[in-house]
Structure 1
């Protein structure tokens, strides 16, 4: 990859030996440039840092002979800035398109293009035949990009949202300037989960289409809606991944309905990539109408928060989405996605998926045992990541105790909490949600359930500083 002329400096046998070592160390970097797919084996931190350094040295702010007189020349006040963005101070994209090459940043432009190629190859290896881009914004804002693209391309004016009690998607709709029609959840027959019936979603679609049909077509409910007539039309924002007791939307049936009525369909799959259960549902949904799926880089690829992943079977629509981003973007979230893909590698990621599945089973078994011993129950909800256990004492207080015991993540919800339960009226149970997401360790699950057992104890004063409570806390830390 790099032809260094060191002839005559050291003995020939030493020169050949040194070049052999150098070339082996550069081989993985060379493979990334040549093949542009996720490596099977993880790359070392040293290899990744060298790779990023080589690319960042291509940007114009690294040119020692450059005369920089623009208003934006990647001038920084501290070397800390350079380290935080891995040297890509010019960022990525141009004012008109997130994925457009940036003249002042050849290296960053190559880095971003490679990231998207590697990300696409990664999803294909997991079984999703899609095109993908990494976004420099998290899930909620990435949803906004998709909705803005739908508004521009199809004239969408209303988002039909099967209600999930999550502020980010709701704010994303508002941020995009679209109206929202909520479709409320209902309680399942066994009383242990809430969901949005597919027929209610279809009825909401019909009502929106009928409202926007100025010609009053009497067959509007039974015929496909023609988006080419330039009328304002609705779109659907469904939810694949969410906390129990809210079940996942039936994205396959929704995709069929959206195909029938010819309206756009966006899926919020925030943590969908890490589990085969979600991937299989996406594969089935992609056979029908799915315009794009949004996932989180931190939830799936173990990056710091701040990046998103948007993928679709329609490569041209991905390009349309990138055009909705105003201005350039910070390179750091993109670099974080690239670093994770290279540092984990395909084989290790599949192993992490396997471990996540095993950890979820361990969490289930421990919570069932705890429920049996405390006259509670584990709710019957089909989630490959999260589990609900009912509680006979205040779940919010229990979650607070867990937080004070250094357990982050569990969520306590009272039966009367409409927002938390996504349900009109009281839910039958107070409950605590616990998760087994990718990257979790079995020892952490064991310790968390042990402290949950303590937090569910009947002594309400145990956390007030009493001696027996402090001794117990120390014994289980």
Structure 2
């Protein structure tokens, strides 16, 4: 094609000029060929115009973008608003077919290519950048983490139809719990163990006890969590995985934002080697810095992952897949590694600065091995001022910090949780605290601003208490 173009174009432009330009074009096309051939994330990110050219070519393979087309069906990919068409880069058919999210569409070769390629690149990321090397398969599903977990539970129900219980290691996040009840299962809530230093750990013995009481045949799965806010730690995945393997019980891991942490990924990898993990689920927005709305379901057996894709009802939006692909091409392997290294360094910096702040306020950092989140006590504030502190921080642009009073209770689908947001129920009084996370994309100067504003607001709250 380039030779034919060059032959006729040389009638208008000197051939030596054309050769230089077309050689540059060949280098871009080589990038396109390599990514389709290798199914690996490019080492360095692409330029925006290269990404746009690549995506435009892929979308041109969908029937709604053919130069000549005559659609007479009920779903022909027509888009009324040009702004909408531009926003989605002319993709409109979605991905998958009714009954299988991974199946190709005859009218949408481009959308099918988009889906398959992106899933391959995400798998490359999970294995070779995040470090869960044994992962066999994964796919993006256009629902957030909670609904993706429900999809996993419903898939497992087909394989174990008589099981009605899910053993869940408590984490105080509403959707993490509702995914059980929404799927029609009975949650067995296993509280965290609180040690002498107020650190929270998985109550493995209670898992063993519940398996003995309920019987393995009646239990669908063990449902554990990795990423969470302090002082809760990553669940003891290895021991839970060994329990699952020994009792032939499925094991699902909520890995919401765990892909950004090498320590968590190593824990998943080792737990699978020594025990059993069937599926682990993570968010696209938290791990790939894209808009909310997608998640990644991954596993160590390709057949198990494909079974989940076959459970999805109908076609799916390609928006979340497109967002992830664009981000992967933009950042490349080097860009992601820079972000991951930055996050790890920011965690250290946040921990150091919060320790200095805590000492100046006569507070303490709550002991924890959580690799993303850090907690600091608020022992000198009364309950009203603890609540006030959270509001003051938010008004000053500090988002994401959690102020925990340890006095709240919450009822979800008729299940009551005492001391909501603390991950733990107990009649023993506990000190209120605040948590902050060093997550992917955070900048070092945000740590400085947070610590400064926290000190300012804390002192205002404490002084108002002293005046009273």
Same fold (TM over 0.5): yes
Change (3 A) 1:290 1:46: same
How do 1:235-254 residues align onto structure 2 when only pairs under 5 Å count? Answer: 235-254=221-240
Which residue among 404, 407, 414 is the counterpart of 2:405?
Answer: 414
Determine if contact 2:232/2:370 at 8 Å carries over to the other structure: no
Q: Which residue of 2 aligns with 1:172?
A: 179
Change (3 A) 1:4 1:153: farther
Q: Which residue of 2 aligns with 1:205?
A: 211
Q: CA deviation at 1:196?
A: 3.1
| Separation in structure 2 between the aligned mates of residue 455 and residue 413 of structure 1, nearest angstrom | 16
Determine if contact 1:84/1:332 at 8 Å carries over to the other structure: no
What SS does structure 1 have at the residue aligned with 2:188?
A: strand
Which residue among 72, 80, 86 is the counterpart of 1:69?
Answer: 72
Q: Which residue of 1 aligns with 2:391?
A: 400
Q: Which residue of 2 aligns with 1:141?
A: 147
Determine if contact 2:234/2:264 at 8 Å carries over to the other structure: no
| Separation in structure 1 between the aligned mates of residue 182 and residue 424 of structure 2, nearest angstrom | 25
Determine if contact 1:53/1:86 at 8 Å carries over to the other structure: yes
Q: CA deviation at 1:379?
A: 0.4
Change (3 A) 1:459 1:37: closer
Runs of 4+ in 1 over 6 A off after TM superposition: none
Q: Which residue of 2 aligns with 1:160?
A: 167
Q: CA deviation at 1:329?
A: 0.8
CA displacement, residues 385-438 of structure 1 (integer Å, 9 cap, x when unaligned): 111011122332212111100111111010223111122235521111111111
Which residue among 410, 433, 438 is the counterpart of 1:431?
Answer: 433
Determine if contact 1:398/1:412 at 8 Å carries over to the other structure: yes
CA displacement, residues 297-338 of structure 1 (integer Å, 9 cap, x when unaligned): 111111111110111110001100101111111110111111
CA RMSD of the aligned region, Å? 1.7
| 1:79 maps to 2:114 | no
CA displacement, residues 231-260 of structure 1 (integer Å, 9 cap, x when unaligned): 554311101111112222101110001000
Determine if contact 2:119/2:138 at 8 Å carries over to the other structure: yes
| 1:332 maps to 2:319 | yes
Q: Which residue of 2 aligns with 1:234?
A: 220
| 1:264 maps to 2:255 | no
| Separation in structure 1 between the aligned mates of residue 325 and residue 201 of structure 2, nearest angstrom | 36
Q: CA deviation at 1:26?
A: 2.7
Question: Which has the larger displacement, 139-148 or 338-347?
Answer: 338-347
Determine if contact 1:233/1:263 at 8 Å carries over to the other structure: yes
Change (3 A) 1:4 1:365: farther
Determine if contact 1:194/1:421 at 8 Å carries over to the other structure: no
What SS does structure 2 have at the residue aligned with 1:416?
A: coil
CA displacement, residues 124-168 of structure 1 (integer Å, 9 cap, x when unaligned): 213322121111111111111111111112324221111111111
Show structure 1 runs of 5+ residues with no match.
210-224, 226-230, 463-477
| Separation in structure 2 between the aligned mates of residue 93 and residue 415 of structure 1, nearest angstrom | 45
Q: Which residue of 1 aligns with 2:138?
A: 132
Determine if contact 1:185/1:195 at 8 Å carries over to the other structure: yes
What SS does structure 2 have at the residue aligned with 1:456?
A: helix
Change (3 A) 1:261 1:2: farther
Q: CA deviation at 1:83?
A: 2.1
Q: Which residue of 2 aligns with 1:471?
A: none
| 1:12 maps to 2:3 | no
Which residue among 251, 260, 276 is the counterpart of 1:274?
Answer: 260
Determine if contact 2:201/2:236 at 8 Å carries over to the other structure: no
Q: Which residue of 2 aligns with 1:186?
A: 193
| Separation in structure 2 between the aligned mates of residue 29 and residue 339 of structure 1, nearest angstrom | 13
| Separation in structure 1 between the aligned mates of residue 286 and residue 359 of structure 2, nearest angstrom | 31
What SS does structure 2 have at the residue aligned with 1:330?
A: coil
| 1:311 maps to 2:298 | yes
Q: With structure 1 as the length reference, what TM-score do the two structures score?
A: 0.89
Q: Which residue of 1 aligns with 2:411?
A: none
| Separation in structure 2 between the aligned mates of residue 427 and residue 387 of structure 1, nearest angstrom | 21
Q: CA deviation at 1:86?
A: 2.2
| 1:26 maps to 2:13 | no
CA displacement, residues 240-294 of structure 1 (integer Å, 9 cap, x when unaligned): 1111122221011100010000110000011111111101101111112100100
Q: CA deviation at 1:3?
A: 6.0
Change (3 A) 1:206 1:106: same
Q: Which residue of 2 aligns with 1:219?
A: none
What SS does structure 2 have at the residue aligned with 1:420?
A: coil
Q: Which residue of 2 aligns with 1:441?
A: 443
Change (3 A) 1:427 1:132: farther
Determine if contact 1:198/1:254 at 8 Å carries over to the other structure: yes
Change (3 A) 1:344 1:427: farther
Q: With structure 2 as the length reference, what TM-score do the two structures score?
A: 0.91
Q: CA deviation at 1:459?
A: 4.8
Q: Which residue of 2 aligns with 1:474?
A: none
What SS does structure 2 have at the residue aligned with 1:242?
A: coil
| Separation in structure 2 between the aligned mates of residue 414 and residue 193 of structure 1, nearest angstrom | 16
Determine if contact 1:240/1:248 at 8 Å carries over to the other structure: yes
What SS does structure 2 have at the residue aligned with 1:304?
A: coil
Q: CA deviation at 1:41?
A: 1.0
Q: CA deviation at 1:46?
A: 1.5
